[in-house]
Structure 1
Amino acid sequence: MARVVCRAVYCAHNVGGDFCNAAGITINENKSGEEETDCSTFLPRDFSASLSSMDNVNYAGMVARAFSRLPLANPDVECEVDYCEYHNGDKGCAAGEIQVLSANALTSAETFCGTYRPKSIGDYK
C-alpha cells in the first residue's frame, strides 16, 4: 500500500501536516487541462463538506493518532489514471508514496498527484 502525503491544506480530510483522514481517495484525470491528475476526493474545509465527508473517514486511524505519535493509517487509493507509469492495471498504484499537492487548492481540479509520471510510449498495450 502506498503512503499518502497530502498537502491540500484546505481539504476537509487534511488533519494537519501531511495527514489525510479519508478512508479512501480517488486519483483521476483532471478534465481542466491544467494538470494531468487530481484528487477527486477533495472537499473544501467547511461545515457542509465536513458533514458530507463523514462516510469517508478513517476513524480507527484518528483514534490511533490521538493516543500515539504514529501517523494515521493511509487511505485506500483508487487510481483511474491508467497512463501513469505507477498504475498497476487494476485501479491501484505501485508507487511507494503518493503526494497530493497544491497547498492553495480550493477545489479538486486545483489538486494534483505529484507522484504522477506518464508512461513511455512503449508501455502502452
Structure 2
Amino acid sequence: MDPIIIDEDPKPIKGISCSVTNCQYHDGRTQCVAGKIAVGPSSATASRDTLCATFKFKEEQDQ
C-alpha cells in the first residue's frame, strides 16, 4: 500500500475552477487543490459527458 501524503499547504491548480464543495480537494472557494486531476472518459463529445475522476468525497469532521 502506498503511503498517504498530505500537503500541509495545498496549492490551487492554475486555470482550474471547481464548484464541487463536497470534494476533499475543493479549497472552500472556487479552486481545486489536488496535485493533479484526471478527467474523462475519452469518448466524451460534450462537457456534460465528462467527469472528474480525481473527486474524493469530503467526510465532514466534527470540530
Asked whether the two chains share a fold, i.e. TM above 0.5, the reply is yes
1:101 deviates by: 1.1
More helix by share: 1
The percent identity for this pair of structures is 35
Give, in whole Å, the separation in 2 of the partners of 1:108 and 1:79: 14
Does residue 98 (structure 1) correspond to residue 37 (structure 2)? The answer is: yes
1:91 deviates by: 0.5
Give, in whole Å, the separation in 1 of the partners of 2:49 and 2:42: 9
What per-residue deviation string (whole Å, max 9, x for no partner) do you get for residues 62-81 of structure 1? Answer: xxxxxxxxxxxxx6011000
Alignment size in residue pairs:
51
More strand by share: 1
TM-score normalised per structure 1: 0.37
**Higher Rg:** 1
What code does the residue aligned with 1:109 have? R
2:51 to 112, 121, 125: 112
What does residue 121 of structure 1 align with?
60
Give, in whole Å, the separation in 1 of the partners of 2:40 and 2:60: 26
Give, in whole Å, the separation in 1 of the partners of 2:17 and 2:35: 14
TM-score normalised per structure 2: 0.70
SS in 1 for 2:16: strand
Structure 1 gaps, min length 5: 3-74
RMSD: 1.7
Moved segments of 4+, more than 6 Å:
none
What code does the residue aligned with 1:121 have? E
Q: Write the mapping of 1:45-64 to structure 2, written as runs, cut at 5 A.
A: none
Q: Write the mapping of 1:14-29 to structure 2, written as runs, cut at 5 A.
A: none
1:121 deviates by: 3.1
Structure 2 gaps, min length 5: 1-11
What does residue 59 of structure 1 align with?
none
